Amino acid sequence: MNMNALMQQAQKMQREMAKQQAELEARLFEFTSGGAIHISIRGNRKIEKLEIDKDAIDPEDKEMLEDMIKVAINEALAMIDKEYEKLNSRLSANMRMPF
């Protein structure tokens, strides 16, 4: 494989990687915690929506509500991390060095 072809292949892979990363950043991930907390978060880790069921709001037990919110956010972020790992694995598998 000549150097020009290698450069073209690298540029193509770079464009594909940027495209897939942009798609992942725009993707909406949703998670519900305890049936009372619902979070919608983009792949770029920006929260779009956070809904709390009014029945989950107990002034006497704010710690439980705080814990459910933390769980929802952490689970949503874990889902995003898994998708990034899959993307990186696919991209790494597509990288073939001719030497």
Q: How many CA atoms lie within 13 A of 82 on its CB side?
A: 7
Q: What is the DSSP string of 14-49?
A: HHHHHHHHHHHHH-EEEEEETTTEEEEEETTS-EEE
Decide if pLDDT at 94 tops 90.
Answer: no
Q: What does the domain layout of the chain look like in residue ranges?
A: 28-99
pLDDT at 96: 60
pLDDT at 32: 87
Inter-residue contact 57 to 65 (CB < 8 Å): yes
CATH-assigned architecture of domain 28-99 = 2-Layer Sandwich (3.30)
35-72 per-position pLDDT tens digit? 899 999 999 999 999 999 998 888 899 898 888 889 88
Q: How far apart are CA 32 and CA 51, in angstroms?
A: 9
Question: Percent of the chain at pLDDT above 70?
Answer: 93
